[in-house]
Structure 1
C-alpha cells in the first residue's frame, strides 16, 4: 500500500516527540542522585545522610558502609568496573586514579566490593602535585575524602565506564592542596554568617544560606589540523605569533549568528553529555569574535557549579576531538579580536528559597535586600585586592580592559533604580516602613518600565530593572551580581571562595556592629538604617555607572583612590598581605601556611607560563620561521638577479627600484628577528620551582618586565614577515585559515 505523505509527516513528528521525551529522561541519568539514594538505602540511612550534609558534620562509618554498597551496586548496573576519587589540585585541571571494584577472596575467587572506608578516603601520591613548597618529594602521602554535597557519577570512554567520586585533597599533615576544600569552608562560613544576620533582622525560619553560581563559558573552536600545526597553541594554549586578520569582527556580523552545522553537531553532543551528568547547559550561541562560542549553565550551589564547570571544560575538549575539532579555553588565543571570559553570576539563597539579592517589587521596603547590598559595597571596597586576585591568571593580562572584558579597577554597577535606592537610604531620617500611611514613590507603576516597541500585534513588555554594563567587573543584573572579569580557563572554585570570603567578612562586620547597637536600642529598624547609612557613606565610592573603558572613568577611579592592580604579578602579591592572611584565618577558610602555599603556586604557574611561551617562540623562530623567511629572501634575490641579467633592472647602488626595497626590507626583518630572538633566549630565567617566596617573586617580576616584552618584540617582527612571505612558504596556518575554516 502506498504511504500517505501526510501520515508520514505525522509519524515523523511523533518520532521526534518520543526522542525528545527520551532525551529529557536522560537528564542526570549518569548521576547517583538523591532519588537514587532514596530508592536504594533505608530511610533512616538517607535521613542521617541529609542531616550530615546540611549540618556540615561527618558521616558515621556505619552510614557510609550502607551508602557505599548502594553506590557500588548502582555504578556496576551502569557498567562501571572501576571507581576514582576525583579531585581538583591547585591548577586548572582535575586528577583521578582508577581503582577496580575487584576484591580477592582467595582460591582464585573474587567479589565486587566497595566499603564505606573506600568511599570516604583514598590515598594518592601528594608529592607530584602543586604544593607551594609545603611538601618535598620524600613526603608523598596525601589523602582524598568524599564530598557528600557533590553526588557521584559515572562517565563512559569508548566502552570503559568509571565511577567518579568528588573529593577533597589534602596532605598527610591536613593542609588543603586542592580547590574544593577552601570552597567548602567558604560555603559553610557564608552560610553561618548570613544566617546569623538574617536572624538579627527577624528571620526565625532560615536554617542555612546557599552560595549559588551560574557560569557562562566562552571558548574558541578550530579545526584539529590547524591546532596540531600551530606549535604555540599546542604548548601554550594561544597564538604567540599571528598577523592581524584582514577581516575580524569589524562588521559585527557574527554575534548570535547561525551556528555552522559542524560546530552545532559538536555542541549538541556536548550538551547531551552534560545533561546526562545533571549539568543544566541551557544556552548556546556564537560570540563576537570569529570562531568563538558561549554555553551557559543554570544556577546551582557554588560547590556543585564548580565541579560541573570543570567537567564542562573537560567534555568540551574531549568531544571536540571526535568531530575533528579542538577547543581553546585560553583567555586570549588570538590577538586583535575578543578574548574569552567566564562570567560568574553569583547570588545567595535561603533554605526556604528566598534570593537575598532579589529587590522585590518595592526595594525601598525590602530591608534584607538593602542590608545585603550595603555589605556587597563594603566587600568590593575593602577587598578589591582579593577580588582582583581571584582572576589573576596570565591569560587575563591579555584580555582585561578591552574587547568586552572589564578593566582591572574593581567597581560595582548598580543601575539607575538601585543607585536611586542608595541615595534614598542616605537621605532618610527614619526607615520607610515605619512611616504609617505614607505612600512612597515606588507605590505606583513607573510608565517607563513598560516598553511598547511595535504595533498592537507585538505585546508590550516590562523592561528589566537595570541595563547591562559590559565594562563593569561586578554588575547588578536584577537579582544577582555578574562578575564579568574571570578568565575562560579558570576554575570557578577559587573565584567562589574569594567571593564567599569577602562577603562573609562584611556580613560578619554588619552583624557585630548591629548586635552592639541593639544593646543600647530596642528599635531594630532605625538601628539598621543607622548602620546601613554608615556602610553606604564609607563604601559608596565603588559604585560606577560609567563606561569602564573611558578615560574619565579611569580618572574618576584614581581621584576616588580606588586601587588598580593592572597585571597578574601585582595582583598575586596581594595574597600574602597581613590583612588578607588574617581575614582567611579568622574566617577559618585558609590557614596562614595554606595562603602562602597558594601564593607560591600562583607565582610558579605564572613563571612557567611565560617561560613556555618564550621557549615556544624561540623554537618556532629558529626551526621554522627564519628558514621560511630566508627561502623567500632567496627567491626574491634570484628573481632580482634574473631580471637584472635580462636588462630590465638596474642594480647600481643608487637604484630606486621597488623590488630592491622589498629585498632590503625582508633582509632587515630577518636580521632583526635573529637578534631579538637571541636577546629573548638570554632573558629566559632558569627556575627552581620549590624555592622561597622572595625568589619566586623576583623571577615572576623578571618574566613580566623583561621576558614578556621581549616576546612581544619578537612577535612584532614575525607578524610583519607573515604579511610579506609567500603563503606557500609560511610554515604555520594563519589567522584567516584557523578562524574561518570551520
Structure 2
C-alpha cells in the first residue's frame, strides 16, 4: 500500500460513469410507475387469495387472526401456490430468512429441485421436478449452536428450528447473474423452544400490548353499530435509516474500515461539516443514481421508501419509509440495509452502517418512530383538536410516560453497543439519560389537568379557542406565500424520546442494529403500564361496565403526577440537565457494560417475564450475548489498530524521519542551515517512541484479556482498559498523520474519502 494506490483510486473515482437503471416497461413499451412496480416481488395476501381455493384462503385468514393453527392441508396448498408463483418469477431456491442475535439476517438456500424414481419392467427411471411442501414452508433446521445463544445451545446441542412467520409475506430477491430466491420470513428458536432471534420476542410483545390496549378501550369506549369494538391493536413503526457511502476503492485501502466498520485512526480535515452545507444539499450524482436503484429494488419488494436526503456529515445520507405495522417495518428495515449494501457495490461504493465510522463528524442513528393504531385505522396517540378532553389519547399518553419512566434504563440497554457508545451524547445524538419531550402545548395540557384548571392558551402557544394539532398559523408578511400552519410543538433533537405530533421518536437506537429489540422493550414497557392503568380504572369504576369521564380523568391525573420526573423540555446536552436528572433519580448510563446489567435488574426482568415476552433463561442468554459481542468487538478493534501501528503508521513515520535525518545531515555537511528539519525531527521522534509504547500496551492488554472467560468481566475489561488505550493510540496516530509527508502516508485520508463521491 502506498500513496500511489490512493492516487490511482481517487483518479478512478472521479472518472467513473454511472450505471444506467433499467426501469420495467409495460406492454405498450412505456416505463411503469413506482406504484405499478410496488410489491411485484411479494407473494402478498391479494396474490394468495387469487391463487388459493376460497376455503383454504379463509382457513389461512382465520389463522392470521389467531383463530386456529395452520393445518397440513392449508400449508401444503399455500406452499404449492408459492412455488408456482416463485417458478413463474424464475426462482430456483427458497430460504427461511431469520434474524439471529447478531444484528444481521441469516439464510440457507434449498433448491426446489427433487428427484422422482419410477420403475418400468424392473428398470429405474429417474426424473427431475420442482417440489415445495407445506412442511418445508413451515419449518426448517439450521445449526443452533453456530449462532449466538448465550449458553442455551452448546456445540453438541446443535438442533434449532426456523418457523414461518405467517404475518410477514414471502418475497423474491434477485441474485447475481439472474438467479432468484424465494424468501420465507421466519422466527428462530432452539430445540427446547427458547427464542434465539429478534423476531420471536417482538411477536410476543406485539400480542401483549394488543391485549392490554384492547382491555383499556373496552373499559372506556362502549361499542355500538356505528363504532364497533376494535379486534386488534398494533404498533406502527417508521425507521429513519442513516448511513455513510464511501468510494469502494478507498474503502479497500483502509484495513480498519474493512475489519471494524470504522476508521480507528484519521485526522479531521480543514473542511468537514462545520459550514453546514451538506445537510439537505444537492445529492451527488453517483449517490443519487445508487439511491434511485435502491428505491426501485425496494419498491419491487413492497418496501415503501418515502424520503431521501443528505445528512449532516460529509458522505452521510438518510432514507425514511412510510410507517407500517412494526413487525413488517422491522423486516423491511433489514431488507433495506441489505439492498443498500448490494446496490452500492454496483456503483463501486461501500455502504457503512457503523454508528461512528469517522471521528469528529456526526454519526448515524436509526430513529424509531413508534405509535399505536387500531385495526380500524385509528391512531391512539393522535391528540385530535382538543387533547385536554381526548381522554383516550391522554390515557395512552400517560401509559407511554409511565412505561418509559419505569423502564427507561432498559430502553437505554436496547441502544447499547460498542459502536453506539461513540455516538450517544456526542452533540449529534441523545444522551444516555432517557427522558420524554412533549412540547409546550401538551405540557400545559397535562399541567392544567393535574392542577384541575383550564388550559392557559397563552402558555400553550395558541390563540385559537380550541387547541389544534397543527398549532397556530404563522404570518410570513409576504402576500404571495401561502399560510403556514405551525405544528403543535417544536422539535427537540436532543431528546432521546420525543413526541412528534401523533407518535414518539426513539432517537437513541444505533444505525446498524435491528430495531426489533428496542420496539420489543417499548411494547412491553407500555403494555405493563396499561395493565396498571387498567387496575386503577377498575377500582375507580366500581360496579360500572364502562368508565365515566370522571373515572378516566381521575386516573389520568394520577399518572400525570406520577410521571412528571421523566418529562423534560430543555436541552438534553446541557450539563445542567445531567445534574437535574440525578436529582430526579433518572439513571445516566454512559457505558454499554453498565447498560447491559439493566436487562437483569429485578424490576425489568420481572416485567418482561411476567408478560411472557422473555423467559428468565432468554434474558440471561441475551445478557451473555451482549457482553460477549461487546468484548469481541473491542478486541477486534484493538488487534486491528495494533496491526495499523506496526505495519503502516510506524513504518511511515520511520521513513519520513529517516528522510529528515538524512536531509539534515547533508545540509550540515555543506554548512547549510538545518534548523527546520531538526525542528520537525524533534516533534516526530517523541511521537514514534510514544507509538511504540502504546503498541506494547495494547499487546499487553490483549494478552490480559485473553484468559477472561466470564463475558461480563471481559466486557468491563474491554471497556475500561482496552478502549482508553485505543483512544490514546488514535490521538498519537492522528498527530503523526498531520506531521508525516503525504507521499509516505499509505492510508486514504478523511479529506479524500469525503470528496470522492
TM score, norm. by length of structure 1? 0.93
* CA distance, structure 2, for counterparts of residue 314 and residue 689 of structure 1: 36
Q: 1:706 aligns with which of 688, 702, 721?
A: 721
Deviations 1:237-287 (A, max 9, x none): 000001122111111111101011111101111111111000001100000
Q: Say which is worse superposed, 546-555 or 145-154, in terms of deviation.
A: 546-555
Shift in Å, 1:690:
11
Q: Calculate the aligned-residue CA RMSD, in Å.
A: 2.1
* CA distance, structure 1, for counterparts of residue 553 and residue 541 of structure 2: 12
Deviations 1:376-415 (A, max 9, x none): 1111111011110110111111111123201110001101
Cα distance change of structure 1 residues 444 and 103 upon mapping to structure 2, 3 Å threshold: closer
Question: Which runs of 4 or more aligned residues in structure 1 lie more than 4 Å from their structure 2 counterparts after TM superposition?
Answer: 17-20, 429-432, 444-448, 520-523, 685-691
Q: 2:659 aligns with which of 635, 638, 658?
A: 635
Shift in Å, 1:54:
2.0
Matched, 1:324 2:339: no
Q: Is the 8 A contact 2:386 2:468 kept in 1?
A: no
Residue aligning to 1:653:
none
Q: 2:743 aligns with which of 717, 728, 732?
A: 728
Matched, 1:673 2:691: yes
Matched, 1:168 2:187: yes
Residue aligning to 1:4:
none
Residue aligning to 2:734:
719
Q: Is the 8 A contact 1:452 1:459 kept in 2?
A: no
Q: Is the 8 A contact 1:521 1:527 kept in 2?
A: no
Residue aligning to 1:295:
319
Q: 2:37 aligns with which of 7, 22, 26?
A: 26
Shift in Å, 1:487:
0.7
Deviations 1:15-48 (A, max 9, x none): 9x97554443111100001110011002222222
Shift in Å, 1:664:
1.8
Residue aligning to 1:208:
232
* CA distance, structure 2, for counterparts of residue 444 and residue 163 of structure 1: 50
Cα distance change of structure 1 residues 218 and 528 upon mapping to structure 2, 3 Å threshold: same
* CA distance, structure 2, for counterparts of residue 687 and residue 148 of structure 1: 44
* CA distance, structure 2, for counterparts of residue 538 and residue 504 of structure 1: 17
How do residues 174-185 of structure 1 correspond to structure 2 at under 5 angstroms?
A: 174-185=193-204
Deviations 1:688-725 (A, max 9, x none): 8995xxx2111111111110000011111100000010
How do residues 606-685 of structure 1 correspond to structure 2 at under 5 angstroms?
A: 606-649=630-673, 657-685=675-703
Matched, 1:45 2:59: no
* CA distance, structure 1, for counterparts of residue 563 and residue 33 of structure 2: 52
Deviations 1:606-655 (A, max 9, x none): 001100000000001011111111000000001101111110137xxxxx
* CA distance, structure 2, for counterparts of residue 70 and residue 312 of structure 1: 26
Q: Is the 8 A contact 2:471 2:488 kept in 1?
A: no
Cα distance change of structure 1 residues 739 and 441 upon mapping to structure 2, 3 Å threshold: closer
Residue aligning to 1:593:
617
Q: 1:500 aligns with which of 523, 527, 531?
A: 523
Residue aligning to 1:111:
129
Q: 2:508 aligns with which of 467, 473, 485?
A: 485
In the alignment of these two chains, the number of paired residues is 712
Q: Is the 8 A contact 1:501 1:587 kept in 2?
A: yes
- Give 3-state SS (helix, strand or coil) of 2:373's partner: strand
Cα distance change of structure 1 residues 444 and 528 upon mapping to structure 2, 3 Å threshold: closer
- Give 3-state SS (helix, strand or coil) of 2:399's partner: helix
* CA distance, structure 2, for counterparts of residue 455 and residue 56 of structure 1: 59
Q: Is the 8 A contact 2:705 2:717 kept in 1?
A: no
Residue aligning to 2:4:
none
Matched, 1:99 2:110: yes
Shift in Å, 1:335:
0.5
Deviations 1:57-97 (A, max 9, x none): 52122111111111111011111111000111001111111
Residue aligning to 2:753:
738
Shift in Å, 1:731:
1.3
* CA distance, structure 1, for counterparts of residue 138 and residue 505 of structure 2: 35
Cα distance change of structure 1 residues 689 and 77 upon mapping to structure 2, 3 Å threshold: farther
Cα distance change of structure 1 residues 225 and 164 upon mapping to structure 2, 3 Å threshold: same
Q: Is the 8 A contact 2:441 2:489 kept in 1?
A: yes
Residue aligning to 2:534:
511
Residue aligning to 2:489:
466
Residue aligning to 2:9:
none
Q: Is the 8 A contact 2:445 2:455 kept in 1?
A: no
- Give 3-state SS (helix, strand or coil) of 1:108's partner: strand
Q: Say which is worse superposed, 599-608 or 450-459, in terms of deviation.
A: 450-459
Cα distance change of structure 1 residues 408 and 113 upon mapping to structure 2, 3 Å threshold: same
Q: 2:139 aligns with which of 97, 116, 121?
A: 121
* CA distance, structure 1, for counterparts of residue 303 and residue 470 of structure 2: 39
Matched, 1:532 2:550: no
Q: 1:578 aligns with which of 593, 602, 605?
A: 602
Matched, 1:71 2:114: no
* CA distance, structure 2, for counterparts of residue 338 and residue 26 of structure 1: 35
* CA distance, structure 2, for counterparts of residue 466 and residue 19 of structure 1: 45
Residue aligning to 2:466:
443
Q: Is the 8 A contact 1:242 1:335 kept in 2?
A: yes
* CA distance, structure 2, for counterparts of residue 140 and residue 736 of structure 1: 48
Residue aligning to 1:7:
none
- Give 3-state SS (helix, strand or coil) of 2:242's partner: strand
* CA distance, structure 1, for counterparts of residue 252 and residue 704 of structure 2: 28
Shift in Å, 1:115:
1.1
* CA distance, structure 2, for counterparts of residue 448 and residue 24 of structure 1: 33
* CA distance, structure 1, for counterparts of residue 30 and residue 155 of structure 2: 53
Deviations 1:438-489 (A, max 9, x none): xx98437799701122422211021111111100001111011111111100
Q: Is the 8 A contact 1:414 1:476 kept in 2?
A: yes
- Give 3-state SS (helix, strand or coil) of 2:187's partner: strand
* CA distance, structure 1, for counterparts of residue 704 and residue 36 of structure 2: 55
Deviations 1:515-534 (A, max 9, x none): 22222677622122111111
Residue aligning to 2:16:
none
* CA distance, structure 1, for counterparts of residue 40 and residue 114 of structure 2: 27
TM score, norm. by length of structure 2? 0.91
* CA distance, structure 1, for counterparts of residue 166 and residue 174 of structure 2: 22
* CA distance, structure 1, for counterparts of residue 565 and residue 149 of structure 2: 38
* CA distance, structure 1, for counterparts of residue 543 and residue 713 of structure 2: 53
Residue aligning to 1:376:
400
Residue aligning to 1:139:
157
Q: Is the 8 A contact 2:468 2:488 kept in 1?
A: no
Q: Is the 8 A contact 1:132 1:690 kept in 2?
A: no
- Give 3-state SS (helix, strand or coil) of 2:594's partner: helix
Q: Say which is worse superposed, 423-432 or 362-371, in terms of deviation.
A: 423-432
Cα distance change of structure 1 residues 170 and 727 upon mapping to structure 2, 3 Å threshold: same
Q: Say which is worse superposed, 124-133 or 17-26, in terms of deviation.
A: 17-26
* CA distance, structure 2, for counterparts of residue 688 and residue 647 of structure 1: 55
* CA distance, structure 2, for counterparts of residue 57 and residue 711 of structure 1: 55
- Consecutive unaligned residues of structure 1, counting only runs of 5 or more, are 1-13, 433-439, 651-656
Q: Say which is worse superposed, 136-145 or 396-405, in terms of deviation.
A: 396-405
Q: Is the 8 A contact 2:384 2:469 kept in 1?
A: no
- Give 3-state SS (helix, strand or coil) of 1:105's partner: strand
Q: Is the 8 A contact 1:685 1:699 kept in 2?
A: no
Q: Is the 8 A contact 2:238 2:321 kept in 1?
A: yes
Residue aligning to 2:439:
415
Shift in Å, 1:549:
1.0
Shift in Å, 1:685:
5.0
* CA distance, structure 2, for counterparts of residue 337 and residue 447 of structure 1: 34
Q: Is the 8 A contact 1:215 1:309 kept in 2?
A: yes
Residue aligning to 2:173:
155
